[in-house]
C-alpha cells in the first residue's frame, strides 16, 4: 500500500510505473487477497490528495504500513449505480463530528480481522443537501475510533453481515445502521461531494473535525 505513498507519512514515494508492478505480482498470486491492499491504496490516494494535515497524520502512516485497511462504502440496496438517490444521512453533532445512519451493500473488505482497524470512505447526504448526485458528501468512518495519541479507542457503530440472496449463492455485504465517523470530506461544488462517477480523484478536501466515542 505504501509503495506509491507520500514519504512524508511513511510511503516510499515510488511512481505508478513501479507500484503497478507490485500490484501485478500481488494480484497474480491471489486476486481475492489483492483486493484488500488495492482498496487500501485507493483510500490512501483519496485522503492524501484531498485530506487536511490532521487526516493525513492520523490515518496514512498505519494504512501505508498495512496495519489499517481501507474500504469504499458507495451504493445501497435500492440505488445500484444511481448514487444520487442514496439514503444514508450525516447529521452534524455538537462536537463538530457527524452521526451517520444508513445501509451500504457490496462492501469489499467491509469487515475482517486482517488489520487492527478498517477506514471506511462513506457516501452520505447532509440534512440540507440538494437532490441528486450534487448533494453527496464523503465521510471517513473508522471501524475503531482513533484517539488523539494515535491509539485505538472504542469500536464505532459499524457492523457488517453477509446475506444470502434467494438463489442461495449471491452474498451481499451490508454496512448496517448507526455509523459514527470522525471526519467529513466536504465537496468542492458549493460544499457538495463527488458526482455519480466515483473515482479517487473526485474526492474533496475535508474540514477539521474531532473524533467522538462510538455508539456502544
How much of the chain exceeds pLDDT 90, in percent? 44
Residue 200 has pLDDT above 80, yes or no: no
Q: What is the mean pLDDT of residues 121-148?
A: 91
What is the chain's mean pLDDT, rounded? 77
User: What is the predicted pLDDT for the residue at 162?
Assistant: 59
pLDDT in tens, 80-120: 888 999 998 888 888 878 888 888 888 888 888 999 999 99
Distance of alpha carbon 47 from alpha carbon 184, whole angstroms: 11
**122 is written with which cell numbers?**
462513506
CB 210, CB 95: distance < 8 Å: yes
User: What is the predicted pLDDT for the residue at 198?
Assistant: 28
User: What is the predicted pLDDT for the residue at 205?
Assistant: 32
pLDDT in tens, 155-187: 887 766 655 544 443 334 444 434 444 455 544
Whole-model pTM?
A: 0.76
pLDDT in tens, 10-25: 999 999 999 999 999 9
Backbone φ and ψ of 155, nearest 5°: -70, 135
Question: Higher-confidence residue: 163 or 57?
Answer: 57
Q: How far is CA 6 from the centre of its chain?
A: 18
Question: Higher-confidence residue: 150 or 216?
Answer: 150
Distance of alpha carbon 125 from alpha carbon 201, whole angstroms: 19
User: What is the predicted pLDDT for the residue at 52?
Assistant: 85
Backbone φ and ψ of 125, nearest 5°: -125, 140
pLDDT in tens, 121-131: 999 999 999 99
Residue located via cell numbers 473535525: 209
Domains defined along the chain, listed by start = 7-202 (2.40.110.10)
User: What is the predicted pLDDT for the residue at 160?
Assistant: 66
144-146 and 160-164 as β-strands: parallel, antiparallel, unpaired? Answer: unpaired
CB 181, CB 187: distance < 8 Å: no
Amino acid at each position: 500500500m505504501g509503495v506509491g505513498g507520500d514519504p512524508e507519512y511513511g510511503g516510499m514515494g515510488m511512481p505508478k510505473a513501479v507500484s503497478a508492478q507490485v500490484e501485478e505480482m500481488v494480484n497474480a498470486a491471489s486476486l481475492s487477497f489483492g483486493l484488500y491492499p488495492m482498496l487500501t491504496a485507493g483510500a490512501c490516494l483519496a485522503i492524501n490528495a484531498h485530506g487536511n494535515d490532521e487526516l493525513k497524520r492520523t490515518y496514512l502512516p498505519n494504512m501505508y504500513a498495512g496495519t489499517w485497511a481501507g474500504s469504499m462504502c458507495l451504493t445501497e440496496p435500492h440505488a445500484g449505480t444511481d448514487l444520487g438517490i442514496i439514503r444514508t444521512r450525516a447529521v452534524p453533532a455538537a462536537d463538530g463530528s457527524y452521526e451517520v445512519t444508513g445501509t451500504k451493500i457490496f462492501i469489499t473488505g467491509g469487515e475482517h480481522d486482517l488489520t487492527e482497524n478498517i477506514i471506511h470512505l462513506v457516501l452520505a447526504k447532509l440534512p440540507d443537501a440538494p437532490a441528486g448526485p450534487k448533494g453527496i458528501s464523503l465521510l471517513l468512518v473508522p471501524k475503531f475510533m482513533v484517539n488523539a495519541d494515535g491509539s485505538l479507542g472504542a469500536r464505532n457503530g459499524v457492523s457488517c453481515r453477509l446475506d444470502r440472496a434467494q438463489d442461495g449463492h449471491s452474498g451481499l455485504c451490508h454496512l448496517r445502521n448507526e455509523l459514527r465517523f470522525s471526519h467529513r470530506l466536504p465537496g468542492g461544488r458549493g460544499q457538495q461531494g463527488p458526482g455519480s462517477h466515483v473515482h479517487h480523484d473526485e474526492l474533496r478536501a475535508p474540514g477539521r473535525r474531532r473524533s467522538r466515542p462510538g455508539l456502544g
